[in-house]
Chains A and B, each alone.
Chain A
Amino acid sequence: MINNCKANSCRSYGTNNNSRNNTSCSRMKLRLQQLEFALDDIVLYLDAYPECNQALEYYHTLLEERNHLREIINEECGPMTNFSNHSKDTWLWTNGPWPWQIEA
């Protein structure tokens, strides 16, 4: 499943393919928050300076790790969007917790 990885853009998230590990899920989701926060920022910059190649390169570096991580999170922790319900036998999207709920 992990193909095509350039050395510095693939991270090991310490997951296995079978169980839903809560610690690694919260660690991965935190990493996703970091990546997408940076992405929000670089998108806004590119909106104003679309010619900046350095910015576009940074955008793609972030995006590559983010897309890879999202695939893992969707598989291991549950769907991040209602178009990412990969399970063919269970509708997981409406499962909790929702982002504003504190996990006990």
Chain B
Amino acid sequence: MWTYEKKLQYPVKIKNPNQNTAQIIISQLGGPDGELAASMRYLHQRYSCPYNKITGILTDIGTEELAHLEIIAAIIHQLTRNLSPEQISGTPFATYFVDHTTGLYPVAASGVPFDMKYVGIKGDLLTDLNEDLAADATIS
């Protein structure tokens, strides 16, 4: 189970709101290569893992990805504070704003909501680890 600690893993102090930056960064929240996908991937692969050591790694990385999810949410929250209607209308952010205002809703920058289809879980260790390598782009 999870304990929540009331701090960010890394500090976030955005001085200047910018809705255009928020519009792009939101992919790191709810997009195919974002932190929500990453945490769901690792945390769910644990259950079928036959080796305790690897289960440990999947647990710890998955938990850290949840912490990253919080960091990205903090970034977007701070980027979209105090925006005037003029700063929103006519920008790509307007299409997000109409449905969510300045709430945090995991989507990709394209507007596609988060989808578990971004995550491969086959219950076979080597297959799942290959999914992890592909997702984290460590194959050169």
Residues of A within 8 A of B (CB): 29-30, 32-33, 36-37, 40, 43-44, 47-48, 50, 79-83, 93, 98-100, 102
Contact = CB atoms under 8 A, between A and B. Distances in A.
Given A30-B11, A33-B10, A33-B11, 17 more contacts: A33-B7, A33-B8, A36-B9, A40-B67, A43-B60, A44-B61, A48-B57, A81-B5, A83-B3, A99-B6, A99-B7, A99-B8, A100-B8, A100-B70, A100-B73, A102-B14, A102-B78
27 contacts: A29-B7, A32-B7, A33-B7, A33-B10, A36-B5, A36-B7, A37-B10, A44-B61, A47-B53, A47-B57, A48-B53, A48-B57, A50-B53, A79-B6, A80-B5, A80-B6, A81-B3, A81-B4, A81-B5, A82-B4, A99-B6, A99-B7, A99-B8, A100-B8, A100-B12, A100-B73, A100-B74
Interface residues of B, number: 25
Contact of B77 (A29, A33, A47, A100): A100
A102 B6 contact: no
A84 to B, nearest CB: 9
Nearest to B14: A102
A39 to B, nearest CB: 11
A102 B74 CA distance: 9
Given A29-B7, A33-B10, A81-B4, A100 B78 contact: yes
A15 B127 CA distance: 52
B53 A33 contact: no
